[in-house]
Structure 1
Amino acid sequence: MRNYAEQGILKTASGLILGRPDNNDYVNEYTEELLKVLREENLTDMPVITEMDFGHTCPVFTIPYGSMAQIDCTTRTFSLLERGVYD
């Protein structure tokens, strides 16, 4: 996260979704480090969802690369707004 912050990538993001660590190892430590970087970058209002089942987890779901998605902070949901595969 600090690398993304240093490159200016975090400041251009509208929100973050992060997969959970495999076997839920170090979940609290991952979350605390993420929050620390967001505080350092004054991004405490950024929508963030952690512990999602994508990436190197089991079970796992796929998020299509490049598809539009939405984090709704009011309903606390994450939704894909377009299909990842077309006929």
Structure 2
Amino acid sequence: MGRPDNNAYVKEYNDELLKVLQEEESTAMPVITEMNFGHTCPVFSLPYGAMAQIDCTSKTFSRVESGVEA
């Protein structure tokens, strides 16, 4: 999930996200918050359809393939 612009209301944003996950009984699903994509600065691209990996033990996120075909 992207972070709010200028980190405004980060706690409130994360609290609401947790409420939604609890309502949907999805709290076991890994979710990363406060990422620099969307309407933030700095920003990075997350291409649709590109494979990525979340490592919950080391708390890392990696794109494992390019977002464009060669």
TM-score of the aligned structures, taking structure 2 as reference length: 0.93
Deviations 1:50-87 (Å, cap 9, x if unpaired)?
Answer: 00001000000011111011111011010111111223
Identity of aligned residues (%): 71
Runs of 4+ in 1 over 2 A off after TM superposition: none
Over aligned residues, Cα RMSD in angstroms?
0.8
Match of 1:74 among 34, 47, 57: 57
Deviations 1:8-46 (Å, cap 9, x if unpaired)?
Answer: xxxxxxxxxx01011111111110000011111111111
Task: Structure 2: give runs of 5+ residues left out of the alignment.
Answer: none
Whole-angstrom distance in 1 between the partners of 2:11 and 2:29? 19
How many residues in Structure 1 have an aligned counterpart in Structure 2?
Answer: 70
TM-score of the aligned structures, taking structure 1 as reference length: 0.76
Whole-angstrom distance in 2 between the partners of 1:76 and 1:84? 22
